[in-house]
Amino acid sequence: MMATAQRSIIPPQSLIWGLLLANGFLIALMLALAKAATSQGMPAMTYAFWQTLIAGAVLLVCAGKRRSLLAPRLSRYFLISGLTGIAIPNAIGFYLVTKLGAGFTGIMYALPPIFTFLLAAGLGLEKRSWIKLAGLSIAVVACAWIVLQRHSEISSPNALWFAMGLLIPAMLSIGNVYRSVAWPSGVKPMILASGTLLASSATLGLFAGLTRTSIFPETTGLQLVSIVGVQGLLTALTYLCAFELQRRSNPVFYSQLGAVAAMFGLLIGVIWFNERYSVGIWLGALVVILGLRISNRTKPTSPEI
């Protein structure tokens, strides 16, 4: 009876939206910390490696049944989930944040919803809904508008940076669908988050070796070490929340996490880094929120699996 009462304190819908907002804020904060570290000379690949290694180790220590990480059936899940959801998009994001700013890079994390929706609908994981498609389309078009506005504000922009940025939503969309389709039964979110983060750190370490990127930069000082340590703890909390959100929602609802992170990213960019955005960018941000609001005008049970 007590357990039932505890479960009823927070309605399922409120819990899901709370996880979405908290997770979006944590992702935006992670990008801000990444900019603070990489702008001091730490390579993006190195930063992403230590971020995921520390976070995965923290969750591993806190998790029970650690031996389940070695289960053969989970190896492929950890590898694919780690590459598509963490290693590739984060390494690119941490590199671009020093080139294009925290706010703009955060926008790249807002683009996956419509691609995730199309993938999920094609696989039969999501019911076809014109309202949802219209809302997500409005949000993505608004994000594209922000990209164009930001492009015009950057002096001597490099087209390759923007092309690299598009790999972030592409990888995240694939990862969103894969994690739901291949979700291992009977495994706790903390174990899945830990294994995915550790698999990501292993692949990033391999990439660093292949590209001759130092894992222990000589310029690393106490301040950088502190930032990396805080980032590792934040990342552990972020991905624990992320896997819990994915367990409670479907791929399309989960993919809206990026848009929430993008909005927080704009605010953090202004408050922390004194980044300045035009009226057009702020109007685009409002349209993103409007589009997401429209896309969620479905039955209350739609976010639940």
Please answer whether residues 264 and 28 qualify as being in contact, where contact means their C-beta atoms are separated by less than 8 angstroms: yes
Which of these, 140, 43, 39, 148, lies nearest to 90 by C-alpha position? Answer: 43
Q: Six-digit token pair at 160?
A: 């390759």
Query: 235 Cβ partners below 8 Å, 6+ apart?
Result: 30, 51, 52, 54, 55, 197
Q: How much is the pTM? A: 0.75
**Structural domain boundaries in the chain:** 24-295
Residues 213, 276: Cα–Cα separation, whole Å: 33
pLDDT digits (tens, 9 = 90+) for 242-263: 888 888 887 778 877 777 877 7
Q: Residue 165, exposed/middle/buried by CB under 10 A (0-12, 13-18, 19+)?
A: buried
List, for residues 283-301, the tens digit of each pLDDT value.
887 887 788 777 766 543 4
* Sites in the chain below the pLDDT cut of 70: 1-8, 65-66, 101-104, 106-107, 110, 147-158, 296-305
3-class state of residue 156 by DSSP: coil
Helix (H, G, I), strand (E, B) or coil at 251: helix
Give per-residue pLDDT as tens, 64-73.
766 777 777 7
Backbone angles phi, psi at 277, to 5 degrees: -125, 145
**What tokens does 246 get?**
């994915």
List helix spans (H) across 154-185.
Answer: 159-181
For residues 87 and 80, give the distance between their C-alpha atoms in angstroms, rounded to a whole number. Answer: 10
